[in-house]
Amino acid sequence: AYWWPKAFGFRLDPFWGKVSFWCWVLGFWFAFMPLYILGLMGVTRRMRVFDDPSLQIWFVIAAFGAVLIAAGIAAFLVQIFVSIRKRAELADVTGDPWDGRTLE
């Protein structure tokens, strides 16, 4: 996303970028922290069936996190689509979209 304005001449839509960011961050925490907790509880990986039904809530929370990550990917694709549709409004006419004052 950083080099997008230099490559295509317009910036990405900031709203959908923030939605994508927060879905990714929260999705990561919801997807992987329950799995770390389960590992500390002694649950082994790659088992098809678990005998203890009290573990199910942790797997449901992890699945919710995976859905949030998928929503973050979808938000990124929406961001690209919206940015292409609004490219005249998001155009970079300066050649220095981030005011970096560097040579690239």
Task: With respect to residue 1, please indicate whether it lies within any of the assigned structural domains.
Answer: no
Task: With respect to residue 80, please indicate whether it lies within any of the assigned structural domains.
Answer: yes
Computed over every residue of the chain, the mean pLDDT equals 90
- Count CB atoms within 10 A of the CB of residue 103: 4
| pTM, rounded to two decimals | 0.83
Residue 59 confidence (pLDDT): 92
Domains of the chain: total:
1
What lies within 8 Å, CB to CB, of 91 at 6+ separation is 9, 10
Q: Residue ranges of the chain with pLDDT lower than 70?
A: 103-104
Task: With respect to residue 99, please indicate whether it lies within any of the assigned structural domains.
Answer: no
49-84 CB burial, b ≥16 within 10 A, e <16: eeeeeeeeebeeebeebeebbebbeebbeebeeebe
Residue 104 confidence (pLDDT): 64
Range of the domain at 62: 15-44+53-85
